[in-house]
Amino acid sequence: MNLQVNTSSWSADVKIKKGTVHLTLRHTFFGTSLTRMPIVERDDLPTMATDGKKVYWNRAFTDSLSPQETATVLLHEILHVVFKHVLRMRNRNHKLWNMACDHAVNWIIEDIIRSDPKSGLSLPEGALLDPAFRGLTAEVIYNRLNKQQEEEDKQEQDGQGQGQGGSGLQPQPWGEMLEPTNEDGSVMSEADLSTLEADIDQMILNAPRTAGNLPSAVKGLIDELLTPKVDWRDKLRRFANGGDQPDDYTYEFFDIVTYRTTGILDPVLETKGVGKLIIFDDQSGSVRTEERKLALAELNEISLTCKPTSVTLIPFDTSIDEENIAYYQEGEEITSLERTRCGGTAVAPCFQYLEDNHLIDEDTKVMFLTDMGIGDYPDTAPPCEVLWINTSGYEVDAPFGETIHVKD
């Protein structure tokens, strides 16, 4: 369908219908996903929006768009749904999270436009599209925007800046994410949110994936859904035990009773545990409480059974909370599980702390318990094994080390 001819008299309703058809024919995965959702007119919203369950549109706003722009904003909204941006917000600042997700989604759309001259898409004026954020996840972009906002707020307090009103941190004038609610307007419970997430996963799996060029980010999302899951607890234990090497028998110690009674040397099973275990516990407000508890409970079990020579639990957000670092000896129960902070997330101070205190050696394993909302990974991997324990519920991996995803 050609959206560039005989369109001047199209009403808003026609633009919505034609835009949906165009996406279905030209960008089949997204168009089919869109057709599986209610598309509802709402004049109380200024532009278009989604709550992960429905896509909403405003008549006056749609009248102001070209047919190409209408199709693009519909694509923008369905991308928010596909990447579960509404569910991933948690208790983050709504405005900054919306901006971060807009940057991430708009770059996917821009890459589609650049790779396909006949895409029939055009981003409306005011689209957030910072080149520095191309290819980054919404969590990483959010952290950078949040840091920028904190710096500008500080300048305002010091009388050196104009604060948020005069900053570059302005939302784009179209598109919005709404908090998902039940049909009666009540706040969704965790069970309701899990059901919504499962519905979105099913929508993704049911959409055709053969027609059209899928962005790599979407391909990765689909691949993750189709890949058989290995229990994260098994991965965690393998890492703590030094990989897939099994325990082995040794004659260095033997069963003295058997030897005295039979004269036979019976070898003893030797458990190959770890040396030092250093766990950085992300205290940022966006870390999901239940998944954090699950992971810490499993780490405590590992401390008791795998018996690392020592465990150091280090709380952090944008800096190390040195006053609340907890130290445990071999086989000791981990008891320091309470939050001590509730800021952002920065891992550069963690690696600097390891270096400054000479904590890295061949017998040290480092774990990060985090929601992966990280924007300051070091350029090079440290000289030790690193495991990222992702509690966010979403498939975000670190650029080095191994990442496991905590899901009950």
CATH 3.40.50.410 domain range(s) in the chain: 232-243+274-405
Stated pTM of the model: 0.65
**Residues of the chain predicted below pLDDT 70:** 1-7, 160-168, 210-213, 225-231, 242-274, 286, 288-289, 336-337, 407-408
* Phi-psi category of residue 372: left, alpha or beta, with phi > 0 → left and psi -120 to 50 → alpha: left
Sequence-ordered list of residues with C-beta below 8 angstroms from that of 221, at least 6 positions apart, any chain: 82, 83, 204, 395
Sequence-ordered list of residues with C-beta below 8 angstroms from that of 47, at least 6 positions apart, any chain: 57, 58, 61, 73, 173, 174, 175, 176
Q: What is the pLDDT of residue 388?
A: 92
Report the first-to-last Cα separation within the chain, whole angstroms: 45
Angle between helices 12-26 and 28-35 (to 10 degrees): 130
The sign of the dihedral angle between the CA atoms of 365, 370, 373, 376 is: negative
Q: What is the pLDDT of residue 245?
A: 46
Distance CA 43, CA 49 (A): 11
The sign of the dihedral angle between the CA atoms of 196, 198, 200, 206 is: negative
- List the one residue out of 147, 112, 168, 152 whose CA is nearest residue 317: 147
- List the one residue out of 311, 293, 312, 291 whose CA is nearest residue 303: 311
Residue corresponding to tokens 């959206």:
3
Distance CA 316, CA 341 (A): 8
Q: Are strands 39-41 and 55-57 parallel, antiparallel or unpaired?
A: parallel
Strand partners, 50: 55, 177
CATH of 232-243+274-405, one of 3.40.50.620, 1.10.730.10, 3.40.50.2000, 3.40.50.410: 3.40.50.410
Tokens of 64: 């102001």
Tokens of 159: 């009388």
Amino acid at 204: I
Q: What is the pLDDT of residues 319-361, one digit of tens each?
A: 999 999 999 888 787 776 677 777 778 899 999 999 999 988 8
DSSP 8-state code for residue 126: T
Q: What is the pLDDT of residue 5?
A: 55
Q: What is the pLDDT of residue 363?
A: 80
Distance CA 160, CA 34 (A): 46
Q: How far is CA 111 from CA 3, 42, 99, 215, in A?
A: 20, 30, 18, 8
